[in-house]
Amino acid sequence: MAHPHGTFPASRRDFILLLGGAAAVSPSLWPLAARAQQAGKLPTIGFLGANTPAAQSQWTAAFVQRLRELGWIEGRTIAIEYRWAEGRDERYAEIAAEFVRLKVDVILTHGTPATLAAKQATSVIPIVFAIAGDPIDTGLVASLARPGGNVTGLSTQTADLAGRRIELLREVIPSLRRLAIIANVSNTAVVLEMREVQAAARTLGLEIATLEIRRAEDIVPAFETLKGRAEALYVVTDPLMTVNRTRTNATALGARLPTMHAFREYVESGGLLSYGPNLPDLYRRSADHVDKVLRGTKPGDIPVEQPVRFDLIVNMTTAKALGLTIPETFLVRAYEVVE
Protein backbone atom coordinates (compact mmCIF):
# COMPACT_ATOMS: atom_id res chain seq x y z
CA MET A 1 0.00 0.00 0.00
CA ALA A 2 1.38 3.41 -0.97
CA HIS A 3 1.77 6.25 1.47
CA PRO A 4 -1.29 8.56 1.27
CA HIS A 5 0.71 11.53 0.05
CA GLY A 6 2.49 9.59 -2.69
CA THR A 7 1.21 11.07 -5.97
CA PHE A 8 1.74 9.23 -9.21
CA PRO A 9 0.30 10.14 -12.58
CA ALA A 10 -2.42 8.42 -14.56
CA SER A 11 -4.28 5.24 -13.81
CA ARG A 12 -3.65 2.26 -16.07
CA ARG A 13 -6.82 3.02 -18.03
CA ASP A 14 -5.79 6.64 -18.64
CA PHE A 15 -2.32 5.46 -19.55
CA ILE A 16 -3.59 3.10 -22.26
CA LEU A 17 -5.67 5.95 -23.69
CA LEU A 18 -2.73 8.36 -23.56
CA LEU A 19 -0.25 5.97 -25.14
CA GLY A 20 -2.67 4.89 -27.81
CA GLY A 21 -2.21 8.27 -29.47
CA ALA A 22 -4.06 8.63 -32.74
CA ALA A 23 -5.40 5.10 -32.43
CA ALA A 24 -7.18 6.08 -29.21
CA VAL A 25 -8.88 9.18 -30.66
CA SER A 26 -12.63 8.61 -30.79
CA PRO A 27 -14.26 8.46 -34.24
CA SER A 28 -15.87 11.91 -33.78
CA LEU A 29 -12.38 13.44 -33.57
CA TRP A 30 -11.00 11.76 -36.67
CA PRO A 31 -11.99 14.60 -39.03
CA LEU A 32 -9.91 17.00 -36.89
CA ALA A 33 -6.92 14.67 -36.95
CA ALA A 34 -7.36 14.08 -40.69
CA ARG A 35 -7.63 17.84 -41.40
CA ALA A 36 -4.48 18.47 -39.34
CA GLN A 37 -2.64 15.81 -41.34
CA GLN A 38 -3.87 17.28 -44.66
CA ALA A 39 -2.83 20.79 -43.66
CA GLY A 40 0.71 19.47 -43.24
CA LYS A 41 2.63 16.94 -41.19
CA LEU A 42 1.93 17.19 -37.47
CA PRO A 43 4.92 18.25 -35.37
CA THR A 44 6.53 14.95 -34.41
CA ILE A 45 8.39 13.85 -31.29
CA GLY A 46 10.78 10.91 -31.62
CA PHE A 47 10.41 9.21 -28.22
CA LEU A 48 13.55 7.13 -27.63
CA GLY A 49 12.49 4.88 -24.75
CA ALA A 50 15.63 3.35 -23.27
CA ASN A 51 13.66 0.67 -21.40
CA THR A 52 10.52 -1.34 -22.24
CA PRO A 53 7.07 0.35 -22.45
CA ALA A 54 6.05 -1.39 -19.19
CA ALA A 55 9.23 -0.43 -17.30
CA GLN A 56 8.68 3.28 -17.84
CA SER A 57 4.90 3.45 -18.17
CA GLN A 58 4.41 5.99 -15.34
CA TRP A 59 7.13 8.25 -16.72
CA THR A 60 5.71 8.17 -20.25
CA ALA A 61 2.21 8.92 -18.94
CA ALA A 62 3.53 11.92 -16.97
CA PHE A 63 5.20 13.27 -20.13
CA VAL A 64 2.12 12.82 -22.35
CA GLN A 65 -0.20 14.31 -19.69
CA ARG A 66 1.95 17.44 -19.36
CA LEU A 67 2.08 17.82 -23.16
CA ARG A 68 -1.75 17.76 -23.17
CA GLU A 69 -1.83 20.51 -20.54
CA LEU A 70 0.45 22.57 -22.82
CA GLY A 71 -1.92 22.05 -25.78
CA TRP A 72 -0.10 19.20 -27.53
CA ILE A 73 -2.67 16.43 -27.93
CA GLU A 74 -1.39 13.21 -29.40
CA GLY A 75 -2.90 12.45 -32.81
CA ARG A 76 -4.48 15.92 -33.07
CA THR A 77 -1.84 18.60 -32.58
CA ILE A 78 1.24 16.40 -32.28
CA ALA A 79 2.48 12.97 -33.32
CA ILE A 80 4.73 10.80 -31.15
CA GLU A 81 6.86 8.05 -32.66
CA TYR A 82 7.70 5.58 -29.86
CA ARG A 83 10.76 3.32 -30.11
CA TRP A 84 12.02 1.06 -27.29
CA ALA A 85 15.67 0.03 -26.82
CA GLU A 86 14.83 -2.43 -23.99
CA GLY A 87 18.05 -1.53 -22.15
CA ARG A 88 20.26 -2.61 -25.08
CA ASP A 89 22.94 0.00 -25.85
CA GLU A 90 23.33 -1.12 -29.48
CA ARG A 91 19.71 -0.13 -30.21
CA TYR A 92 20.24 3.58 -29.45
CA ALA A 93 22.19 4.40 -32.63
CA GLU A 94 19.68 2.46 -34.82
CA ILE A 95 16.70 4.31 -33.31
CA ALA A 96 18.43 7.72 -33.51
CA ALA A 97 19.25 7.11 -37.20
CA GLU A 98 15.62 6.17 -37.86
CA PHE A 99 14.41 9.42 -36.23
CA VAL A 100 16.79 11.40 -38.46
CA ARG A 101 15.36 9.61 -41.54
CA LEU A 102 11.81 10.36 -40.33
CA LYS A 103 12.80 14.04 -39.91
CA VAL A 104 11.18 14.29 -36.46
CA ASP A 105 11.02 17.79 -34.94
CA VAL A 106 12.52 16.88 -31.56
CA ILE A 107 14.01 13.74 -30.01
CA LEU A 108 13.24 12.88 -26.37
CA THR A 109 15.87 10.60 -24.81
CA HIS A 110 16.41 8.76 -21.52
CA GLY A 111 19.90 8.38 -20.05
CA THR A 112 23.42 9.24 -21.18
CA PRO A 113 24.13 6.50 -23.80
CA ALA A 114 20.82 7.16 -25.63
CA THR A 115 21.46 10.93 -25.61
CA LEU A 116 25.04 10.54 -26.85
CA ALA A 117 23.78 8.27 -29.67
CA ALA A 118 21.18 10.88 -30.68
CA LYS A 119 23.80 13.65 -30.52
CA GLN A 120 26.10 11.63 -32.79
CA ALA A 121 23.22 11.03 -35.23
CA THR A 122 22.26 14.71 -35.61
CA SER A 123 23.58 18.15 -34.78
CA VAL A 124 20.43 19.76 -36.25
CA ILE A 125 17.36 18.10 -34.70
CA PRO A 126 16.79 19.35 -31.11
CA ILE A 127 17.35 16.70 -28.41
CA VAL A 128 15.76 16.83 -24.93
CA PHE A 129 16.94 14.30 -22.34
CA ALA A 130 14.30 13.52 -19.71
CA ILE A 131 17.04 12.20 -17.44
CA ALA A 132 20.85 12.07 -17.60
CA GLY A 133 23.30 11.43 -14.79
CA ASP A 134 25.99 14.09 -15.22
CA PRO A 135 25.47 15.96 -18.50
CA ILE A 136 28.61 18.11 -18.24
CA ASP A 137 31.18 15.42 -17.35
CA THR A 138 29.74 13.03 -19.95
CA GLY A 139 29.94 15.69 -22.67
CA LEU A 140 26.23 16.14 -23.38
CA VAL A 141 26.25 19.90 -22.74
CA ALA A 142 28.83 22.68 -22.30
CA SER A 143 27.21 23.98 -19.10
CA LEU A 144 23.91 23.71 -17.23
CA ALA A 145 23.04 27.39 -17.71
CA ARG A 146 24.05 27.53 -21.40
CA PRO A 147 23.98 24.02 -22.86
CA GLY A 148 24.93 25.21 -26.37
CA GLY A 149 24.45 22.96 -29.40
CA ASN A 150 21.21 21.03 -29.99
CA VAL A 151 20.86 19.31 -26.57
CA THR A 152 19.14 20.24 -23.28
CA GLY A 153 17.09 18.48 -20.62
CA LEU A 154 17.02 17.41 -16.98
CA SER A 155 19.93 16.17 -14.93
CA THR A 156 19.38 13.58 -12.19
CA GLN A 157 22.66 14.36 -10.35
CA THR A 158 22.67 10.70 -9.23
CA ALA A 159 26.45 10.55 -8.71
CA ASP A 160 26.22 13.48 -6.27
CA LEU A 161 23.84 11.45 -4.07
CA ALA A 162 26.08 8.36 -3.80
CA GLY A 163 27.44 9.28 -0.37
CA ARG A 164 23.97 10.02 0.99
CA ARG A 165 22.70 6.62 -0.19
CA ILE A 166 25.51 4.80 1.61
CA GLU A 167 24.80 6.78 4.80
CA LEU A 168 21.14 5.72 4.58
CA LEU A 169 22.18 2.07 4.12
CA ARG A 170 24.37 2.38 7.22
CA GLU A 171 21.41 3.69 9.23
CA VAL A 172 19.46 0.53 8.37
CA ILE A 173 22.49 -1.79 8.70
CA PRO A 174 24.73 -0.19 11.39
CA SER A 175 27.15 -3.13 11.26
CA LEU A 176 27.77 -2.69 7.51
CA ARG A 177 31.45 -3.30 6.65
CA ARG A 178 31.44 -4.86 3.16
CA LEU A 179 29.56 -3.30 0.25
CA ALA A 180 29.09 -4.70 -3.25
CA ILE A 181 28.38 -2.42 -6.23
CA ILE A 182 26.76 -3.70 -9.45
CA ALA A 183 27.19 -1.43 -12.47
CA ASN A 184 26.84 -1.50 -16.26
CA VAL A 185 30.30 -0.17 -17.11
CA SER A 186 29.44 0.43 -20.79
CA ASN A 187 27.48 3.53 -19.61
CA THR A 188 29.75 6.55 -18.96
CA ALA A 189 27.35 8.11 -16.43
CA VAL A 190 27.29 4.79 -14.52
CA VAL A 191 31.10 4.71 -14.37
CA LEU A 192 31.10 8.24 -12.89
CA GLU A 193 28.57 7.23 -10.22
CA MET A 194 30.44 3.99 -9.49
CA ARG A 195 33.59 6.03 -8.74
CA GLU A 196 31.59 8.30 -6.41
CA VAL A 197 30.19 5.25 -4.59
CA GLN A 198 33.68 3.76 -4.23
CA ALA A 199 35.08 7.04 -2.88
CA ALA A 200 32.18 7.49 -0.41
CA ALA A 201 32.47 3.86 0.75
CA ARG A 202 36.24 4.22 1.34
CA THR A 203 35.66 7.39 3.36
CA LEU A 204 33.37 5.35 5.65
CA GLY A 205 35.97 2.58 5.88
CA LEU A 206 33.93 0.01 3.94
CA GLU A 207 35.42 -2.84 1.93
CA ILE A 208 34.17 -2.78 -1.68
CA ALA A 209 33.48 -5.54 -4.20
CA THR A 210 32.60 -4.22 -7.68
CA LEU A 211 30.52 -6.32 -10.09
CA GLU A 212 31.08 -4.95 -13.60
CA ILE A 213 28.45 -6.00 -16.14
CA ARG A 214 27.75 -5.08 -19.75
CA ARG A 215 24.62 -7.09 -20.61
CA ALA A 216 21.72 -8.89 -18.94
CA GLU A 217 23.48 -12.26 -19.17
CA ASP A 218 26.25 -10.97 -16.85
CA ILE A 219 23.96 -10.32 -13.85
CA VAL A 220 23.55 -13.81 -12.36
CA PRO A 221 27.22 -14.87 -12.86
CA ALA A 222 28.30 -11.58 -11.22
CA PHE A 223 26.34 -12.52 -8.09
CA GLU A 224 28.02 -15.93 -8.02
CA THR A 225 31.44 -14.27 -7.63
CA LEU A 226 30.14 -12.45 -4.52
CA LYS A 227 29.44 -15.44 -2.23
CA GLY A 228 30.00 -14.22 1.34
CA ARG A 229 31.95 -11.12 0.25
CA ALA A 230 29.27 -8.49 0.93
CA GLU A 231 26.56 -7.47 3.41
CA ALA A 232 24.67 -5.07 1.10
CA LEU A 233 24.43 -4.21 -2.59
CA TYR A 234 24.45 -0.77 -4.23
CA VAL A 235 22.75 -0.98 -7.64
CA VAL A 236 23.92 1.77 -10.01
CA THR A 237 20.77 2.41 -12.02
CA ASP A 238 20.63 2.66 -15.80
CA PRO A 239 18.32 1.27 -18.53
CA LEU A 240 19.98 -2.17 -18.54
CA MET A 241 19.42 -2.47 -14.77
CA THR A 242 15.91 -1.00 -15.01
CA VAL A 243 14.78 -3.64 -17.50
CA ASN A 244 16.38 -6.36 -15.33
CA ARG A 245 15.51 -4.89 -11.93
CA THR A 246 13.09 -7.65 -10.84
CA ARG A 247 15.64 -10.37 -11.61
CA THR A 248 18.43 -8.41 -9.87
CA ASN A 249 16.33 -7.85 -6.73
CA ALA A 250 15.19 -11.49 -6.59
CA THR A 251 18.81 -12.66 -6.92
CA ALA A 252 19.92 -10.20 -4.20
CA LEU A 253 17.12 -11.37 -1.89
CA GLY A 254 18.14 -14.99 -2.48
CA ALA A 255 21.69 -14.00 -1.48
CA ARG A 256 20.30 -12.17 1.63
CA LEU A 257 21.64 -8.81 0.38
CA PRO A 258 19.78 -5.58 1.22
CA THR A 259 19.80 -3.30 -1.86
CA MET A 260 20.09 0.46 -2.38
CA HIS A 261 18.82 2.11 -5.56
CA ALA A 262 18.29 5.58 -7.04
CA PHE A 263 14.61 5.31 -7.99
CA ARG A 264 11.33 4.12 -6.46
CA GLU A 265 10.57 1.82 -9.42
CA TYR A 266 13.34 -0.50 -8.19
CA VAL A 267 11.81 -0.67 -4.69
CA GLU A 268 8.40 -1.46 -6.18
CA SER A 269 10.17 -4.40 -7.85
CA GLY A 270 11.47 -5.85 -4.57
CA GLY A 271 14.47 -3.64 -3.76
CA LEU A 272 14.91 -2.52 -0.15
CA LEU A 273 15.67 1.22 -0.36
CA SER A 274 15.86 4.00 -2.91
CA TYR A 275 16.85 7.62 -2.59
CA GLY A 276 16.80 9.96 -5.54
CA PRO A 277 14.81 12.17 -7.86
CA ASN A 278 11.16 11.51 -8.70
CA LEU A 279 11.26 10.26 -12.31
CA PRO A 280 7.63 10.98 -13.27
CA ASP A 281 8.32 14.58 -12.15
CA LEU A 282 11.42 14.80 -14.38
CA TYR A 283 9.51 13.38 -17.36
CA ARG A 284 6.72 15.86 -16.70
CA ARG A 285 9.19 18.76 -16.67
CA SER A 286 10.87 17.46 -19.85
CA ALA A 287 7.54 18.13 -21.64
CA ASP A 288 8.02 21.83 -20.84
CA HIS A 289 11.43 21.72 -22.55
CA VAL A 290 9.90 19.99 -25.59
CA ASP A 291 7.13 22.63 -25.67
CA LYS A 292 9.70 25.47 -25.74
CA VAL A 293 11.61 23.78 -28.56
CA LEU A 294 8.43 23.23 -30.62
CA ARG A 295 7.57 26.91 -30.17
CA GLY A 296 10.94 27.96 -31.58
CA THR A 297 13.42 28.28 -28.68
CA LYS A 298 16.89 26.89 -29.47
CA PRO A 299 17.74 23.93 -27.18
CA GLY A 300 21.19 25.44 -26.52
CA ASP A 301 19.45 28.46 -24.93
CA ILE A 302 17.26 26.37 -22.57
CA PRO A 303 19.08 25.77 -19.25
CA VAL A 304 19.47 22.18 -18.07
CA GLU A 305 17.33 21.79 -14.94
CA GLN A 306 18.06 19.77 -11.82
CA PRO A 307 15.72 17.69 -9.63
CA VAL A 308 13.56 19.54 -7.11
CA ARG A 309 12.23 16.41 -5.36
CA PHE A 310 14.25 13.65 -3.72
CA ASP A 311 12.26 10.70 -2.40
CA LEU A 312 13.33 8.11 0.18
CA ILE A 313 11.37 4.87 -0.44
CA VAL A 314 11.37 1.74 1.75
CA ASN A 315 9.99 -1.72 0.94
CA MET A 316 8.79 -3.26 4.21
CA THR A 317 8.03 -6.66 2.66
CA THR A 318 11.66 -6.94 1.56
CA ALA A 319 12.87 -5.71 4.98
CA LYS A 320 10.84 -8.45 6.70
CA ALA A 321 12.11 -11.10 4.26
CA LEU A 322 15.69 -10.03 5.11
CA GLY A 323 14.92 -10.02 8.84
CA LEU A 324 15.74 -6.30 9.08
CA THR A 325 14.11 -3.93 11.56
CA ILE A 326 13.82 -0.45 10.02
CA PRO A 327 14.18 2.24 12.75
CA GLU A 328 11.02 4.32 13.32
CA THR A 329 13.11 7.52 12.96
CA PHE A 330 14.05 6.31 9.46
CA LEU A 331 10.46 5.46 8.45
CA VAL A 332 9.22 8.89 9.53
CA ARG A 333 11.56 10.47 6.96
CA ALA A 334 10.50 8.15 4.13
CA TYR A 335 8.42 9.73 1.40
CA GLU A 336 6.73 6.39 0.80
CA VAL A 337 6.63 3.01 2.51
CA VAL A 338 5.84 0.17 0.07
CA GLU A 339 4.19 -2.85 1.73
Question: Is 58 within 8 Å of 49 (Cβ atoms)?
Answer: no
The DSSP 8-state label assigned to residue 174 in this structure reads T
Average pLDDT over residues 171-179: 95
Say how many residues make up the chain.
339
- Calpha distance 135→112 (Å, rounded): 8
pLDDT at 38 over 50: no
CA 326 to CA 172: how far, in whole Å?
6
Give 67 or 27, the one with higher predicted confidence: 67
Measured CA to CA, the distance from residue 312 to residue 152 in angstroms comes to 27
pLDDT at res. 275: 95
Q: What is the mean pLDDT of residues 19-43?
A: 47
Which CATH code for domain 159-277+311-338? 3.40.50.2300
pLDDT reported for residue 156: 87
- Per-residue pLDDT band at 338 (split at 50, 70, 90): confident
Q: Is the pLDDT at 106 greater than 90, yes or no?
A: yes
- Whole-angstrom Cα distance, residue 159 to residue 164? 10
Query: Whole-prediction pTM value?
Result: 0.80
Residue 23 in this model has a pLDDT that exceeds 60: no
Per-residue pLDDT at 127:
98
The Cα–Cα gap between 154 and 135 comes to 9
What's the average model confidence in pLDDT over 178-201? 93
CA 166, 335, 86, 271 torsion-angle sign: positive
Q: Where in the chain is the domain with CATH 3.40.50.2300?
A: 12-156+278-309, 159-277+311-338
Three-state DSSP at 182 gives strand
Q: Name the CATH superfamily housing domain 12-156+278-309.
A: Response regulator (3.40.50.2300)
Percent of the chain with pLDDT over 70: 88
Please state which of the ranges 27-31, 67-71, 223-227 shows the lowest mean pLDDT: 27-31
**So what's the pLDDT on residue 261?**
97
Q: Which amino acid is at 6?
A: G
Element (H, E) at 310: strand 310-315
